[in-house]
Structure 1
Amino acid sequence: MAPILDDAPARRGGLTIADKVVERTAGQVLKDLPGVGGTSSGLFGIGASSSLDTRPSVDVTLSGRSCTLAVQLGLAYPTPIVEATEHVRSTLSHEVERLTGVTVRQVDISVRWLAPESSGANRGRNRLQ
């Protein structure tokens, strides 16, 4: 029996990126930035702790091949907050687009806490007396 030939062009499959993939990718990009941290969740919010070693929280709203990111993070103190958040925004947009192929339309950043430097010449200098 002769093979049946199909004259129709071959169709390529599609690629779907889940919002969790974008969320975890963004979280890892943020975790790798120096001076940026997050809050670990405790049981029902009890025992939650903030640390520069914790991955910041990212919520993703994915629409087709573009997304909006809402980030909750903490910063090392002293840090110029406006400059730090602009750096976070541009780095996060670039890296998420590069790693996932999803266009980042908007990044909303909420700075939830500041962590004072715990070592060096500034130790204790910023305390109120």
Structure 2
Amino acid sequence: MSPPDDPLPGVPDTVERLARATPHGERGRTEISGQVLTRIAERAAAEVPGTAGAGRRAAAAGTPRVRARVDGHLAMVHITMGVVYPEPVRQVAERVRRAVTDRVGALTGLDARQVDIDVVRLVPPAPETRRVR
């Protein structure tokens, strides 16, 4: 049984001592691939209302296309998407940029300073379907 003041209960004493003896920068590193970054950015962009492929209304239009790459601690993301008409294009693009930047930072720790967005089409809203009861 470990003493009550043990900071890491259940961890062997030798592992704890090694962890404390090894400086933070020498413990190893985690690399995030561009493919992982692309998937994260695709999901974040598609979740923003008004983007082509986000939500029920534009599901037939597809999801935004994303190309992404990692350079050190920086993430560069390029998004090609449509906007559901009559949503304001500039505001939708800014919401997408913010969502991608926040999600990439939260999940990977990378700094997504460069998020380029090309709006290539306006997607007509899906017609409302009526249900007869």
TM-based fold match above 0.5:
yes
Give per-residue Cα distances to partners, 1:7-58, cap 9 Å, x unaligned.
xx434121111111100010011122222126xxxxxxxxxxxx93222111
Give per-residue Cα distances to partners, 1:92-117, cap 9 Å, x unaligned.
11111111111101111000111112
Q: Is the 8 Å Cα contact of residues 97 and 115 (structure 2) preserved in structure 1?
A: yes
Corresponding position: 1:24 with 2:39: yes
Partner of 2:94: 86
Partner of 2:78: 70
The separation in 1 between residues aligned to 2:85 and 2:75, in whole angstroms, is 30
Partner of 1:124: none
Aligned positions, number: 101
Q: Is the 8 Å Cα contact of residues 52 and 74 (structure 1) preserved in structure 2?
A: no
User: What TM-score results when the alignment is normalised by the length of structure 2?
Assistant: 0.68
User: What TM-score results when the alignment is normalised by the length of structure 1?
Assistant: 0.70
Partner of 1:52: 58
Partner of 1:126: none
**For structure 2, which runs of at least 5 residues remain unmatched after alignment?**
1-17, 129-133
- Select the residue among 102, 106, 122 that pairs with 1:114: 122
Partner of 1:42: none
Consecutive aligned runs of 4 or more in structure 1 exceeding 2 Å deviation:
51-55
Higher helix share: 2
